[in-house]
Amino acid sequence: MVGAGDLQVPGHISAWRDTANVRRAVRRQIDALRAADPVGFVRYSTDPLGALHERPDIRVKLTQTFAHVGCSVHAYYDAQVSLPEIVVLDTGGGRRRNFSLLHEFGHHLQQADRAWAFDVLANLGSDRWTVEERVCDLFAAQMLLPEELVAPHATNGRELQARSIVELFHASAASRSACCVHMCGMPGDHAVMLTDLDGTIFFATSSDAFYAPMRGTPQPDLEILIETAIENDGHASGDAHNGLRYGTGRFRQDVYFDIAVDGNWAFVVAKATAGRKGEQAWDLPDHDCDHCLQSYPPSEISRACQLCSTPVCPRCGSCRCPKRSAYCTECFLALSLSEQDAGRTEHVDCP
């Protein structure tokens, strides 16, 4: 265990898969925010854009176009400018924008908390991003979904079902992503995902030892089950055929899916069947590179891109990330994300 001020937290990534530890970290964040602004605290839940606009330590910029990838939401936090800023896509509706704003505000709070940043995140090495994202997701979800609103939809010891997430979404003003995160905290070993009707992951989170696939990962099994759900009453479930696909190209096969379709989206709860069918089962088929058009076996895959979640080709080094210029034409140092999205080719203040 390592210390972060008054909070003793685990220093190894494995312990952060325990939702209880993530909840303790988020509770510390929320308590500190309330103590700093007891009068205006509630506005972060009801009007996060207005609340953030009034903060002198951060700037919010709304954009109609968005090229940055990395976070699990359509926004990003840029601390490499004189005044840290949140850039958020403003075309997804108020619910989604609110979750994105609070998620990125969570990054800001973590960076500003020196005890947390230096005593916890700095000791996690390459796993820092995973922990930071989990804390941001749950922070945003808990700010938007107070316990009294969630209580009627709690599982109370039963297995989590996708229909419960749909019901919570329609009973609240929170985004679908926020509802996924909050309900994923219910007891059980599962992943909760939001996909389009083709089965491609838009958002995913998980509890305990179940790994969530990255955004943009296509799921062949889910596409079939979604079609079945649409033909019936909006609900379908069943064991995986191919499995739950990950960005590395691997499939986890010992999975049971429960799906509820809601408009143009599908809520998915993936549960491990290993407890009643034996050990985890994985498959890793050959991968085809879209750039050099070569196929290569699983044994040659060394890593997956952290941004687009696809394997990096061992032949040409390509993934599926869009290529974009990121260097100042005067000093040849990297441009900040906000400078890139503003169309600049030089730094605001070139060093």
What pLDDT, on a 0 to 100 scale, did the predictor assign at position 290?
72
pTM for the model stands at 0.64
H-helix segments, the chain: 19-36, 43-46, 48-53, 93-112, 114-119, 128-144, 147-150, 162-171, 176-184, 220-231, 274-277, 337-341
One of 3.20.130.10, 3.40.50.620, 3.30.450.130, 3.40.50.1220 is the CATH number of 149-283, namely 3.30.450.130
The pair of three-digit structure tokens given for residue 316, joined into one six-digit string? 């040409």
Quote the pLDDT of residue 182.
Answer: 87
The C-alpha angle 154, 245, 26, rounded to 5 degrees, equals 40
Closest CA to 266 of 136, 158, 171, 169: 169
Percent of residues in the chain assigned helix, strand, coil, to nearest 5: 40, 20, 40
pLDDT for 3 equals 47
Contact 192, 160 (CB under 8 A): yes
Delimit the CATH 3.30.450.130 region(s) of the chain.
149-283
Q: Where in the chain is the domain with CATH 1.10.10.2910?
A: 2-144
Per-residue pLDDT of the chain (351 residues; tens, 9 = 90+): 444 555 555 556 667 777 778 888 999 999 999 999 898 898 998 889 999 999 999 999 998 876 555 565 678 899 888 999 999 888 666 888 888 899 999 999 999 998 888 888 888 887 888 889 889 988 998 898 877 788 888 777 688 999 999 999 998 888 898 899 889 888 788 899 999 999 999 999 887 667 888 888 899 999 999 999 999 999 999 999 889 988 777 888 889 999 999 999 999 999 988 554 445 665 666 667 777 777 766 666 666 676 666 677 877 777 767 655 566 676 666 666 566 766 777 776 665
Domain 2-144: which CATH number of 3.30.70.2190, 1.10.3720.10, 1.10.10.2910, 3.30.565.10? 1.10.10.2910
Place of tokens 């491609």: 200
